[in-house]
């Protein structure tokens, strides 16, 4: 199949490479960076040309305004869409804007699925991403063979476009609050005189055990914050969660606190560190560092 793939960054490049390995042909357009190494793709002038050349167009772009620009811009996907073309947005963006873009795509004669992912760069490389989709069952069924080349845990969360994005934001709320809980516990135990490495080891055997205590707890104790998942991407996702919650009258008090702690980290130069660097905001507040 000829697949349009726009957004060949940290995540998109290995995802497109996995589609290509399975025999699909990739068509793309680039805004600045050259074609990633190891990927052969036909490079066209703009998203409209990509939409005109492909049966399915996958987007893996940074943020809501990027997807809006690529979709609605002068030479955007919508301008070049052929009847029946399926647009699959795998970026993490606003569920509200997603619903609008899906409607605009249907108005242009196409179909739309939102399918954000979790699992990071390693999941993208190993084709083991978790994929959370929203849209009509028939459109999901069309995209499924492609999803299976990029991910493992693949769920149609709801038959409304935006349901995948909402699920992804729920994921990001859980991850942020877990990181915050692990960071608070380790700062508390460490300033009380315990070795945080021993505390982590002890807790790993009990009810407080989690992947985040295991992986992110270790990063906090070692003081190594190479991403991983950049803090600024998590800030973007929590912003989306908070604004979506506000639009439907839901209060997310602890998500707001986690976001404020990330804002404090970013102000200290931490926006490009791994999100586990949230511990540094709590260390400042406690006037105590847990890592050597």
Annotated catalytic sites, by residue? Answer: 168
Is there binding between residue 32 and ligand NAD (CB under 6 A)?
Answer: yes
Question: What tokens does 289 get?
Answer: 């560092």
Is there binding between residue 41 and ligand NAD (CB under 6 A)?
Answer: no
Nearer to ligand NAD, 31 or 254 (CB): 31
Find out whether 235 and 261 touch, Cβ atoms under 8 Å.
no
Helix, strand, or coil (residue 6):
strand
| Mask for 201-230, x = binds ligand NAD (CB under 6 A) | ----------------------------x-
| Angle of CA points 110, 137, 27, to nearest 5° | 45
Of positions 92, 98, 165, 190, contacts ligand NAD by CB under 6 A:
92
CA 106 to chain centre: 25
Bridge partner residues of 118 (DSSP): 130
Least Cβ distance, residue 222 to ligand NAD (angstroms): 20
Is there binding between residue 135 and ligand NAD (CB under 6 A)?
Answer: no
Is there binding between residue 38 and ligand NAD (CB under 6 A)?
Answer: no
Q: How far apart are CA 172 and CA 211, in angstroms?
A: 14
Relative to beta strand 117-118, strand 129-134 is: antiparallel
Is there binding between residue 57 and ligand NAD (CB under 6 A)?
Answer: no
Q: Which stretch binds ligand NAD (CB under 6 A): 2-10, 107-115, 130-138, 181-189?
A: 2-10
DSSP H or E segment with residue 106: helix 95-107
Q: Which stretch binds ligand NAD (CB under 6 A): 25-33, 101-109, 155-163, 273-281?
A: 25-33
Find out whether 17 and 39 touch, Cβ atoms under 8 Å.
yes
Q: Which residues bind ligand NAD (CB under 6 A)?
A: 6-12, 29-33, 60-62, 66, 69-70, 91-92, 117-118, 120-121, 229, 233
């Amino acid at each position: 199949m000829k697949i349009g793939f726009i957004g060949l960054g940290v995540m998109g490049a290995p995802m497109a490479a996995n589609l290509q390995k399975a025999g699909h042909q990739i068509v793309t357009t680039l805004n600045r960076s050259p074609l990633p190494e190891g990927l052969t793709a036909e490079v066209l002038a703009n998203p409209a040309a990509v939409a005109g050349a492909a049966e399915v167009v996958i987007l893996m772009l940074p943020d809501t305004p990027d997807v809006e620009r690529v979709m609605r811009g002068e030479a955007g996907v919508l301008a070049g869409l052929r009847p029946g073309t399926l647009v699959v947005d795998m970026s993490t963006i606003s569920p509200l804007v997603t619903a609008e873009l899906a409607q605009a795509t249907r108005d242009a004669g196409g179909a739309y699925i939102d399918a954000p992912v979790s699992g990071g760069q390693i999941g993208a490389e190993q084709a083991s991403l978790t994929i959370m989709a929203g849209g009509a069952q028939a459109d999901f069924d069309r995209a499924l063979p492609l999803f299976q080349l990029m991910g493992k845990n693949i769920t149609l969360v709801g038959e409304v476009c935006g349901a995948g994005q909402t699920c992804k934001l729920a994921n990001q709320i859980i991850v942020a609050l877990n990181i915050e809980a692990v960071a608070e516990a380790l700062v508390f135990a460490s300033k009380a005189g315990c070795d945080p490495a021993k505390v982590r080891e002890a807790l790993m055997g009990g009810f407080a055990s989690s992947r985040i205590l295991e992986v992110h707890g270790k990063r906090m104790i070692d003081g190594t914050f190479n991403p991983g998942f950049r803090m600024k991407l998590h800030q973007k996702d929590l912003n989306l969660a908070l604004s979506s919650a506000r639009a439907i009258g839901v209060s997310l008090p602890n998500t707001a606190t986690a976001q404020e702690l990330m804002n404090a980290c970013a102000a200290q130069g931490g926006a490009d560190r791994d999100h586990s660097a949230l511990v540094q905001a709590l260390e400042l507040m406690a006037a105590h560092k847990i890592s050597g």
